[in-house]
Amino acid sequence: MTDFAQQRHDAESRLTELRRESGAARLDGKKFNHAAIAEAENELEDTIGAEAEQVRRAREAEASRLAALHKTLSLEFTEKEAERLRLVGRAEKAASELVEALSCVLSVPDRRSLCCHAIAAHPPRPSSNGHEHFR
C-alpha cells in the first residue's frame, strides 16, 4: 500500500518552499517560474485524491469483509438455533417420559399398600395338609 500521507507531506513541503522562493524572487525583483508552483499544486491535489480513494477502497473492502462475516455468522446462528430447538424437543420428550415413569413408580407403593391391606384382612390359616390357605 502506497504511503500517500508521506507523499502529501512532501508535496505540501515542496509547495511551501516554491511559494517562499516565489515571494523572495518578487521581493528581489527577479523572475520566477510559476509553472513549478502549478505543477506542485497539481501533484498535491493528485496525492490528496489518491489518498482519499485509497481510504474509500479500504472502507469498501472492510464493509465487504464485515458483510461476509455477518452472513457467515447468521447462517451459523440459524444452524445452531435449529440444533438447539431439536435438542429442546428431545429434552421435552425425555422429560415427559420421565414424568410418566415416575408416575408408575409412585403408583407401586399404593398397589403394595392395597396388597398389604388385603393380606391383613385375609390372613393365611393352616390347613390339614400343612399348607397355608387364605380365608
Summarised one tens digit per residue, pLDDT across range 68-122 is 999 999 999 999 999 999 999 999 999 999 999 999 888 877 777 778 878 888 7
- By C-alpha distance, which of 50, 42, 60 is closest to 4? 50
d(CA 68, CA 127): 90
d(CA 108, CA 33): 112
What is the pTM assigned to this prediction? Answer: 0.54
